[in-house]
Amino acid sequence: MTPPDEALPQERRFLGLSAGTWPRILAPLVMGLLLLGGWEWAVRHFAVPAYIVPGPVQIAQTLVKDWPTLSGSLAVTLRITLLALLVAVSAGVALSVLFSQSKWVEMTFLPYAVMLQVTPVVAIAPLIIIWVDNVQASLLICAWIVAFFPIVSNTTIGLNSTDRNLVDLFRLYGATRWQTLVQLRLPAAMPFFLAGLRISGGLSLIGAIVAEFVAGTGGASSGLAYRILESGYQLQIPRMFAALALISFSGVVIFLALSLVSHLMLRRWHESALKKDR
Amino acid sequence: MQEDGTIAASDHTAPARNHGTAPGTLPVVSLRGVTKRYGNGTLAVRGLDLDIAAGGFVSLLGPSGCGKSTVLRMVAGLSPVTAGTIDWPRATHDARGTPRPKLGFVFQEPTLMPWQTAIDNVALPLRLEGVAKAERHRRARKMLALVGLSDFAESYPRELSGGMKMRVSIARALVTEPEMLLLDEPFAALDEITRFRLNNDLLRLWEARRFTAVFVTHSVFESVYLSERVIVMAAGPGRLHSDLSIEAPVQRDEAFRTSPDYAALCRTVSGALERAMAA
Ligand SMILES: Nc1ncnc2c1ncn2[C@@H]1O[C@H](COP(=O)(O)OP(=O)(O)O)[C@@H](O)[C@H]1O
Ligand SMILES: [Mg+2]
């Protein structure tokens, strides 16, 4: 190790983050504050009634006031979302592995996976809700249908695009199918799978919300979509916005969390996670 | 040429003979009438007869598309022969009677697993054989030291230069102590300075371990510098054109690379290649 050379410019850091990271956090933050400020100002200046567009301040107040109901609904929606994502990941990866082991399986089932994907979930949700007695289970199925395909298609592409020379090398050393799958194909498919996972995270939230809308059931265990419907009927528009804000926020958190997972898993080796140090 | 002792080129256009194998000793591998037709109808190799002696350094030289890679992949068992036989007279046979020669293979690209460190990449063949982690790391570390990469055992491939990655690839191919090392234009993508260094390193490894080396190249200079024997192939369909012994000093180094002997040898091989391409 050479001691730091005074003559060389050192990377500047503020509060533990490199100087280059701050604009990426600050710029959207400032933009958001400006937008919210402008919104609040417009609502007050033009005296827009709260049942048409409430201001951010009022929405925040409603969020605090109605937190007991809203947080319960948030928990319900998030539970469905995460459960759907979990099932989509395990079923999706399992199906992709089957596809990669046999061209016949792929030829037989891939069209149906595509069909499941291209059929709008709103169109099949009523059927599913009728067929499946349990509301929670039917919501879960709807969210899963939406989240499933990106995992399957991305992981399948990943498993099939393994370096052919590496596959040959495994064959040269007499590797078993299982060794080739676990030590070669699955790690090689990881970046593709993670890209699919990030898409599916957002989609499973959308699927859960859409299904809740269609189900539209009330009661103790109902999610954020139901709160939006309910607030609409009761003309409690600030509450509607509060529920909407929670949905958006959840979506962003899910995306950031999955991006972080992806970064942590790939940072040592994959191009996509490289620091742009050139 | 033969009189001055610098080259003993055998007949240029004759069919293959049991060249390079002293009478009474078994070749490592013996190809008879080996033919390859790919599924799309391409006749890549036709009627190849070739014996390769133990411990030699043989180059397969020929224009692009003459079937060099195909021959190497058939020898490695990665591509089935359409007709003919490939025998391993000296290899041990497994329970089903299939010969199991110990082989190492080096591709044109380093072909490393980007998610594993250099040492884990080198240890891969041992891992597939079921060697315990401590033991395979010990052996992989030894190989890395041999190719001069001790300090980079924990580096990932993306942190290594092209030449270093190729060294890792060679270390991986040698970690099982193979009887035969097959190399398919391993240095073609490297710059000249790196290529020269790796040529010397490969020769040093070969002198130390005496595996049989089969080196595919399209470079006359590289084949002459490295080999004891150069097989020139002709294209359309791929076949053996000439089989040349390179009788050069055992010590191959930069002095040899710039010597008139080397230039003369290159000229001879180059002439054979030209005739092969016209044939
Ligand atoms: N997998 C394949 N399928 C069909 N044709 C192939 C395949 N691999 C190689 N060939 C053809 O076989 C011939 C020899 O190829 P190759 O062995 O790669 O030559 P070289 O290594 O000498 O450049 C070429 O005409 C090439 O197009
Ligand atoms: Mg080739």
Give me the CATH topology for the region B28-102+178-278. Answer: Rossmann fold (3.40.50)
Q: Which residue in B103, B114, B156 is closest to A172 by CB distance? A: B103
Domain boundary assignment for chain B: 28-102+178-278
Domain A55-266: top CATH class? mainly alpha
- Domain borders along chain A are 55-266
Task: Report the alpha-carbon distance of residue A180 to residue A183 in Å, rounded.
Answer: 5
For residue B15, the model assigns a pLDDT of 39
Chain B interface test: which of A169, A170, A192 (most B C-beta within 10 Å): A169
Task: Answer with the residue of higher pLDDT: B45 or B94.
Answer: B45
DSSP letter for each residue of B59-124: EEE--TTSSHHHHHHHHTTSS--SEEEEE-TTS-B-TTS-B---EEEE-SS----TTS-HHHHHHH
pLDDT tens across the length of chain A (278 residues): 445 455 566 667 777 777 778 888 889 899 999 999 999 999 999 999 988 899 999 999 999 999 999 999 999 999 999 999 999 999 999 999 999 988 898 889 888 888 888 888 888 888 888 888 888 899 999 999 999 999 999 999 999 999 999 999 999 999 999 999 999 999 999 999 999 999 999 999 999 999 888 887 666 568 899 999 989 888 899 999 999 999 999 999 999 999 999 999 998 888 776 655 55
Spatial distance between the Cα atoms of B107 and B215, rounded to a whole number of angstroms: 11
Looking at residue B29, the DSSP 8-state letter turns out to be E
Please tell me the residue having the least CA distance from ligand 1 atom 16. Answer: B67
pLDDT in tens, B164-222: 999 999 999 999 999 999 999 999 999 999 999 999 999 999 999 889 999 999 999 99
Return the residue of B nearest to A180 by Cα.
Answer: B128
Over residues B8-47, the pLDDT tens digits come to 444 333 333 444 555 568 899 999 999 999 999 999 999 9
Q: What ipTM is given for this predicted complex?
A: 0.88
Tally Cβ neighbours within 10 Å of residue B168. Answer: 27
Contacts of A174 in chain B (CB under 8 A): 128-129
Question: B258-268 pLDDT, tens per residue?
Answer: 999 999 999 99
The answer to whether the Cα torsion of B105, B106, B108, B109 is positive or negative is: positive
Residue B31, classed as helix, strand or coil, is strand
CA-CA distance, B78 to B90, in Å (whole number)?
20
Quote the CA–CA distance of A188 and A182 in Å, as a whole number: 10
Closest residue by CA, ligand 1 atom 14: B67
Nearest CA of chain A to the CA of B139: how many Å? 17
Contact present, B217 and B182 (Cβ < 8 Å): no
Residue minimizing CA distance to atom 26 of ligand 1? B65
Instruction: Report pLDDT digits (tens) over A31-85.
Output: 999 999 999 999 999 999 988 899 999 999 999 999 999 999 999 999 999 999 9
SS3 A60: helix
Q: Which amino acid does the sequence have at A154?
A: N
Strands A13-14 and A17-18: antiparallel
Show which of residues 185-224 on chain A sit within 8 Å of chain B, judged by CB atoms.
187-188, 190
Instruction: For chains A and B, count residue pairs whose Cβ atoms are closer than 8 Å.
Output: 51
Which ligand is nearest the CA of B238, by number?
1
The whole-angstrom separation of Cα A271 and Cα A274 is 5
| CB-CB contact of B27 with B54 (8 Å) | yes
Report the alpha-carbon distance of residue A64 to residue A222 in Å, rounded: 19
Separation between Cα atoms, residue B223 and residue B68, nearest integer Å: 13
